[in-house]
Amino acid sequence: MDKKLLEPILSNDHDQVAADLHRHFNFTLGRFDTDDLSGYMMTALALTVRDRLMERWRITKAHEQGKRVRKVYYLSLEFLLGRSLGNAILNLNMQDSIRQALSEFSADLESIEMEEKDAGLGNGGLGRLAACFMDSCATLGLPVIGYGIRYEYGMFQQSFKEGRQVEQPDHWLIAGNPWEIERTRHTRRVKFYGQSEYYHNDAGELCARWIQSQDVLAVPYDMPIPGYKNDKVNTLRLWKAAATDEFNLQEFNEGDYSDAVAQKNLAEQITMVLYPNDASENGKELRLRQQYFLASASLQDVISDWVLENGEKFEEFAAFNCFQLNDTHPTLAVAELMRLLMDEHGLSWDDAWTITTKTMAYTNHTLLPEALEKWSVDLVKELLPRLLDIIYEINARFLAVVAHRWPGDVSRQQRMSLIEEGSAPQVRMAYLGIVGSFSVNGVAELHSKLLTTGLFRDFFELWPEKFNNKTNGVTPRRWLAHCNRDLGDLFTESLGTGWKTDLSQLEKLRDFADDAEFGQRWDAVKRKNKERLRDRVIQKCNVEFDLDSIFDVQVKRIHEYKRQLLNILHVIHLYDRITRGDTEGLVPRSVLLGGKAAPGYALAKLTIKLANNVAQVVNSDKSVDPYLKLAFLPNYRVKSMEIICPGTDLSEQISTAGKEASGTGNMKFMMNGALTIGTYDGANIEILEAVGRENFFLFGLKVEEIPEFSLHNSPNDIIENDEDLKRVLRLIECGHFSMFEPGIFEPIVQSIRNPMDPWMVAADFRSYIDAQWSASQVYKQKKVWTKSSILNTAASGYFSSDRTIQDYARDIWKI
């Protein structure tokens, strides 16, 4: 190996950076007028940074070349990357030189960074987790490759019209994406439709193949994923669908040339749009096509590289390859790997199955039974006929194992079958994931435990050794160093720089918790971050938050189980107290909500409308002004959180116990010194244990209390006996927040009054209101709050995705 190829060549000093900026601006982009930088300077800067990424990418690959290292492939339908520029600059340590170079153009880094669009290729937590994991893998120097889809349209953009959510398409690629490299040479071919054919090979063995398929090309676009100051760059490979050049010949000959070309659109539809996480979208054929497209293209990619290096020998394949499946979305990979190994590479069923079950690992992200993916057998049969054969065979062999272990237990066989029988039989994707994997993990302690005692209990009894927990984490580079520079500087000054790659070092902040001077500096940083957030809220919502008030924030997807409704009820309760003059001891509070509702989720959308209407009433009442503000930030996304979490005092994590698998926003807030008001759910429990009960505002029913409580849950009695809740409901019911549209919030009221309410809104109201009151009383004792804030950050080290990835690497991936 030429040693020169193993060293970066491009200099990071500001002269060289400035020269490169000029070159890209003038020559790559063809711009000559430096007075008009708009848009182009961001691209020129991105390209300048990208040059430096390129050589580190090459070096990372060169180091791996020829070495037989075990590799991991993270398969995910979502990678919610957000912006890349600021992160790349941080990780390459180019901040100072870039600032200097930009001054020659009279440009400043912050405003240029603002011009970059978010890569919104995900819905929420699961997609952002994949992005944090990629960052940690690169930083830890682990050989992990991400595989995903290059959606033309990412998560929809949200705006409000008369307080109601309106969705607009997110054409994020329109101005080009400087971070992606198209690699047509690695294009793969993915089959759809057609049928299976069985035949005997030369050796007389029975074989299968997939014939008369309609094929789609998968073209890879690679995104560089830089590690933090370690000269490592990993790869995120995103697939775009393209039509094959095989025109429908018949149409072609009949003269329908244009129609034949137009047919190409159908293939290209596959990667057109990200599906919002929406129950009403369940079962859509296009979504199944996306899932198979990702699974097949990625597996072919890995196998083709394997064959290049090892020939058609697969004995060691499992020793060197591992696939981590991000929820059930890519679990068709189990059946697809079987198909590729048998039909395309001639392995026997047993050999292929041994390899598959040694390479696949599945992560579950939900406890809601209705969110478990199922696909109609009819649809799978039509779209992926050969895969359905394989799934049936996996199931037959699996049920034989079950029958052997529990002879005669037919109901258990039915429960565990990969196929849910009925008038419209369905494939249970989670069960395919469990049966086909050597590891099944949940994403927080409670969640993993509930999986083994609830949803997957039968499987746990059969294979307890497969099940494990990997508590989520978030990357401290984006969620501290980048988004909260002032706090980072304070850490560095007090503790040195090690915290950025070893977040457990924040523990040492405990020594400063009682230091008055340090406390003042801590408060000053928070105040500056609150100013920045206040300005953003004025700009986007035209609502002005008082800097001395508690910044009380709930940002996440809108869902009944996340209970934004409970938060709104609290706001109405405060409003009610203030307007009746009951303001004794009240602490000024600014409540910020943000999040998207799935387009087909009526009650979630109505919750947004309620929040906006309540905000209108609350914010326009002069008598309320000193005490309370409410704002709903439109189009919440990754880059919004970068401004929100540093400026937050109180983090709302108020899901119904047992429903939120983990939560990751809770971790970002904690790192940035927010205190949490939360239920005993998901990772909240681990946060509470890390920081101590006295630094966490806990409320609500516990998961084990809910079944018993539900038996005689009577919201109407609760309302009748709680003067505050009664008044809150009366305000909604009498139309106080819907003067011009009487009765529109009836479905929300109904949901609260429903004795079968699975979300326990009325049941948890009182303890929530009390916990909010305690929070406000602590906030008044400035020093106590500050100390608690410091202790929260100090205890957040465990929630670094570096720790999570080290756990995956040690326990599952064995790298």
Interface positions with ligand 26Q (CB under 6 A): 123-126, 129, 275, 277, 281-282, 287, 365-366, 373, 443, 472, 660-664, 682
Q: For residues 664 and 506, give the distance between their C-alpha atoms in angstroms, rounded to a whole number.
A: 19
We find the least distance from the C-beta atom of residue 601 to ligand 26Q, in angstroms, to be 12
Choice among 339, 470, 668, 787 that is catalytic:
668
Give the pair of three-digit tokens for residue 220.
């890879």
We find the least distance from the C-beta atom of residue 379 to ligand 26Q, in angstroms, to be 13
We find the least distance from the C-beta atom of residue 368 to ligand 26Q, in angstroms, to be 9
Choice among 24, 56, 365, 589 that is catalytic:
365
We find the least distance from the C-beta atom of residue 290 to ligand 26Q, in angstroms, to be 9
Q: For residues 158 and 169, give the distance between their C-alpha atoms in angstroms, rounded to a whole number.
A: 9
Question: Residue 47 in contact with residue 23, Cβ under 8 Å?
Answer: no
* Pairing outcome for strands 374-376 and 157-161: unpaired
Which of residues 125 and 700 has its CB atom nearest to ligand 26Q in the complex? 125
Q: Would you call 83 helix, strand, or coil by DSSP?
A: coil
We find the least distance from the C-beta atom of residue 91 to ligand 26Q, in angstroms, to be 23
Is 659 known to be catalytic?
no
Label residue 382 exposed, middle or buried (CB < 10 Å: 0-12, 13-18, 19+). Answer: middle
Which of residues 43 and 366 has its CB atom nearest to ligand 26Q in the complex? 366
We find the least distance from the C-beta atom of residue 744 to ligand 26Q, in angstroms, to be 28
Is 556 known to be catalytic?
yes
Centre a 10 Å sphere on the Cβ of residue 479 and count the other Cβ atoms it contains: 29
| Residue in the shown chain whose Cβ atom is closest to ligand 26Q | 125
- Tokens 């924040």: give the residue: 506
Give the pair of three-digit tokens for residue 186.
């690695």
Question: Residue 219 in contact with residue 242, Cβ under 8 Å?
Answer: yes
Which of residues 282 and 492 has its CB atom nearest to ligand 26Q in the complex? 282
| Phi and psi, residue 744, nearest 5° | -65, -25
**What Cα–Cα distance (Å) separates residue 441 from each residue in 431, 618, 801?**
13, 44, 16
Choice among 556, 559, 570, 787 that is catalytic:
556
Helices marked H in 417-468: 429-436, 445-453, 457-462
Which residues are within 8 A (CB) of 30 and not within 5 positions of it... i.e. 6 or more apart? none
| Phi and psi, residue 717, nearest 5° | -70, -40
We find the least distance from the C-beta atom of residue 365 to ligand 26Q, in angstroms, to be 4
* 29 HSE (CA, 13 A, CB side): 28
Which of residues 125 and 673 has its CB atom nearest to ligand 26Q in the complex? 125
We find the least distance from the C-beta atom of residue 505 to ligand 26Q, in angstroms, to be 25
Which of residues 472 and 613 has its CB atom nearest to ligand 26Q in the complex? 472
Choice among 477, 562, 609, 637 that is catalytic:
562
Task: State the SS3 of 13-31.
Answer: CHHHHHHHHHHHHHHHCCC
Question: Residue 40 in contact with residue 25, Cβ under 8 Å?
Answer: yes
We find the least distance from the C-beta atom of residue 806 to ligand 26Q, in angstroms, to be 17
Q: For residues 413 and 432, give the distance between their C-alpha atoms in angstroms, rounded to a whole number.
A: 14
Q: Would you call 165 helix, strand, or coil by DSSP?
A: strand
Which of residues 458 and 811 has its CB atom nearest to ligand 26Q in the complex? 811
Centre a 10 Å sphere on the Cβ of residue 520 and count the other Cβ atoms it contains: 12
Q: For residues 71 and 81, give the distance between their C-alpha atoms in angstroms, rounded to a whole number.
A: 22
Choice among 664, 676, 786, 804 that is catalytic:
664
Which of residues 48 and 277 has its CB atom nearest to ligand 26Q in the complex? 277
Which of residues 566 and 630 has its CB atom nearest to ligand 26Q in the complex? 566
Give the pair of three-digit tokens for residue 370.
């209705």
We find the least distance from the C-beta atom of residue 477 to ligand 26Q, in angstroms, to be 18
We find the least distance from the C-beta atom of residue 511 to ligand 26Q, in angstroms, to be 31
Packed helices 349-359 and 332-339: angle between N→C axes, nearest 10 degrees: 140
Choice among 150, 557, 589, 629 that is catalytic:
557
Is 508 known to be catalytic?
no
| Phi and psi, residue 652, nearest 5° | -90, 115
Which residues are within 8 A (CB) of 445 and not within 5 positions of it... i.e. 6 or more apart? 469, 471, 685, 686
Which of residues 346 and 758 has its CB atom nearest to ligand 26Q in the complex? 758
DSSP 8-class letter at 596: P
Question: Residue 383 in contact with residue 288, Cβ under 8 Å?
Answer: yes
Q: For residues 773 and 790, give the distance between their C-alpha atoms in angstroms, rounded to a whole number.
A: 21
Which of residues 519 and 682 has its CB atom nearest to ligand 26Q in the complex? 682
Q: Would you call 635 helix, strand, or coil by DSSP?
A: coil
Centre a 10 Å sphere on the Cβ of residue 320 and count the other Cβ atoms it contains: 15
Which of residues 338 and 418 has its CB atom nearest to ligand 26Q in the complex? 418
Is 365 known to be catalytic?
yes
Q: For residues 525 and 527, give the distance between their C-alpha atoms in angstroms, rounded to a whole number.
A: 5
Q: Which residues are catalytic?
A: 365, 556-557, 562, 664, 668
